[in-house]
Amino acid sequence: MSEPLLQQHQFGTAKDYHELNAGAHRNPPKNLNAPALVWHVAFWTKTDQNKSDPSQIKRTLDTFILGLCGTVATKVGAVELSPCISNVRLLFDCVCRDTSFVEEAITLDDRQRDVFESTRRAVSVKFKWRDLDVAIRFEIHTEFLSISTFIELDKERKGAPYSELPALNENIRRIRDYFESGDKDLAVPIGKYFFRDFWQSYENEILSNASLKPLMQANPFKQVFADFRGLILSEQVVRFPGTEDFLAKDAPLIWGGAAKSKFLPLFQDQRRYECAVNYVLDGRAFYMSTLGPQLPSIQVTDRIPLEFIVYANQRSLESKTIVNKWQLGRVVGRLLHLGTLRLCALRHVTLLHEAGRELAQLDESTQKAREAIAAIETKKTGTALGRSEIDNEKVMELIGAAHKKLNDITGEFLKKTGNGLLYRIERSRYYVKQFYENADLLRAVRLEGDQPYDQFIRRRLGSEFDFIDRLGIRYERATRNMVTLDQNYLSMKANQIDEDIHTIQKYGELFLLGALVPYYVTHLLVLICGDGFSLTIAANVWIAFIAVAIANFFKVPSKIRKAFGIRELIAILAIVLLVAGFYLGWPFEAMLWNRQHERQEQKQKETAEVGILKRVLERLSSDDLRVVPAIDPGAPKGNPAPNSRAPDKAGN
């Protein structure tokens, strides 16, 4: 029997097939059953003191994970480290066999390499501690890494005893009594245990190994900026009136008020906190958080964690699933992610305010530079700088001062934070956008009298988010202003060069029309008309061209064109041509008369020469001593023919 078509691979497989198809499912949320405890800690991976590259951060985290797994395996037994593909555990920067927690050099196949080189994934550690299901989730992001610990108190729903921790069992019993009796004196110690004391005992037993302490005191583990402690409850602990009516009959949401009155006393110093309270998952779950602590007077070394409670109706009275473990895990994971995003959006907010004040002072420098450029371009006096002080060097000095001011702002921010100003603003914008987009996925419903989570953040931090966004706009405008200043200065210099060239051309045209052209025109006309009128021609030509040159120099034609209409211009042109015709036409008439006079003189000269010849011949013919051959005036000049002879007295 032949194999199915898909297993035979009749079609070729793309190189990135496994990467693309596994990418959507590579980072699933933690499925969670209530009741549970959650501890989420986030660390900056890059600060002004820590400029390690990402590979160093990954290697440090891998060392911590392997050390933690080795410690837990020694104390409690089996440890599951994932992702694990084909008996190879894949961490962030190293791999190991599934039989040990020691880094090894292993050649990875294509499926393993696709996961190992992924840009977005998580590493999870799971084990049982004191009969409790513990899952630790490690994630690395662009600027931070996070460690989220989930401890499910009664995953199998076996009931008491819930664990091997007597204090935990006792506090679970006490919280049940509190929900039944409503005795608020029990609430404060219960909340203190679940949000503080329990995690202290967890740290002392799991994270106190000597091999882990040096890592926890080094970068990046000493750069904690988020500490969230959560208590996840369900109807297994307490059921509120009105829930079944809402779930079964689509009745109005009223059970949140009773939940709020029960949960609020669990927060320590509740009078110091302003809480965000709202339904999630369209009313099937409930969220409450101490987002607004008023910072009571405590030790500087003590952190004030953010405390929150999530209550979910996982099952109805008929044991029907309302909120399954995947939904609950997604809600809790999204709440942790949202809390981290809102804090990341405010990173270096004090320095951003300082940069904003410096940018406000930058406007004064750019304004002075613009005024100087405008004063030079318009050549006006009476400016704030003083006309005598405004020149190219002054403009360059003012533009350089503006550039230096902007460079000082960005350079000082870079020196203090290790990041550029625009990069910090863009990252903040990204975190804010991701926050609001993920907040919509909670499907929050308002509880009357309280603010939902997203509205609480918008009211408390919306002004800061808006300030950072507008600071980015101001910074971008400042950089554009610098470019505009440079372009205006270059344009001003180009205009000055054009003006200089135009001035040279203007005087060149004056010299050309007023000197060179009339000189050559006069010479040409004298050759045509004759030397007799050279003075008259020279005077007329030079006067005419000098007048044209002066009119062109002072732009008289353009001024006349602006002052008069088209008809007036035609009339003026006709008059000018008529006057010019009378003024310049008579030399040409004189030239014609001179030609005729020369012809007459030539004829008279020829006639005189003929008369002279006749008289000479007569005198020669009267002389008897010499015989002179007859000369015909019309015959060609030259010697007479050798066979010619003189006529006798008889004329023969």
The C-alpha atoms of residue 111 and residue 92 are separated, in whole angstroms, by 15
Structural domain includes residue 2: no
**CA separation, residue 134 to residues 33, 80, 434 (Å):** 12, 11, 29
Same domain for 181 and 40? Answer: yes
Same domain for 208 and 321? Answer: yes
Same domain for 504 and 529? Answer: no
pLDDT attached to residue 644: 47
pLDDT at 271 over 50: yes
**CA separation, residue 226 to residues 232, 323, 426 (Å):** 19, 28, 21
Same domain for 597 and 523? Answer: yes
> At which of 481, 508, 535 does a domain end?
508
Structural domain includes residue 15: no
Same domain for 170 and 92? Answer: yes
pLDDT band, very low/low/confident/very high, at 418 (cuts 50, 70, 90) = confident
443 near 327, Cβ under 8 Å? no
- Structure tokens given for 437: 């987009």
User: How many structural domains is the chain composed of?
Assistant: 3
What pLDDT digit, counting tens, does each position of 175-222 carry? 999 998 878 888 889 999 999 999 999 999 888 887 788 878 777 888
Note down the domain range covering 301.
Answer: 30-344
What pLDDT digit, counting tens, does each position of 218-254 carry? 778 888 999 999 999 998 888 898 888 888 777 788 8
Same domain for 287 and 152? Answer: yes
Mean pLDDT estimate for the chain: 82
295-298-301-302 Cα dihedral, nearest 10 degrees: -70
Same domain for 483 and 525? Answer: no
Structural domain includes residue 174: yes
Structural domain includes residue 300: yes
Same domain for 517 and 560? Answer: yes
pLDDT at 389 over 80: no
Least confident of 307-316, 555-564, 576-585, 617-626: 576-585
Least confident of 8-22, 380-394, 468-482: 380-394
Structural domain includes residue 629: no
From 30, 22, 14, select the one nearest 112 (Cα to Cα).
22
Same domain for 113 and 192? Answer: yes
> At which of 508, 541, 556 does a domain end?
508
Same domain for 494 and 513? Answer: no
Structural domain includes residue 530: yes
Structural domain includes residue 21: no
Same domain for 323 and 360? Answer: no
Same domain for 543 and 598? Answer: yes
> At which of 508, 541, 567 does a domain end?
508
189-196, long-range: CB < 8 A, 24+ apart = 190/266, 191/265, 191/266, 191/267, 191/268, 191/307, 192/268, 193/167, 194/37, 194/229, 194/231, 194/266, 195/229, 195/231, 195/267, 195/268, 195/305, 195/307, 196/229, 196/305
More confident residue, 26 or 345: 345
The C-alpha atoms of residue 268 and residue 298 are separated, in whole angstroms, by 13
pLDDT at 126 over 90: yes
Whole-model pTM: value is 0.76
224 near 43, Cβ under 8 Å? yes
Structural domain includes residue 533: yes
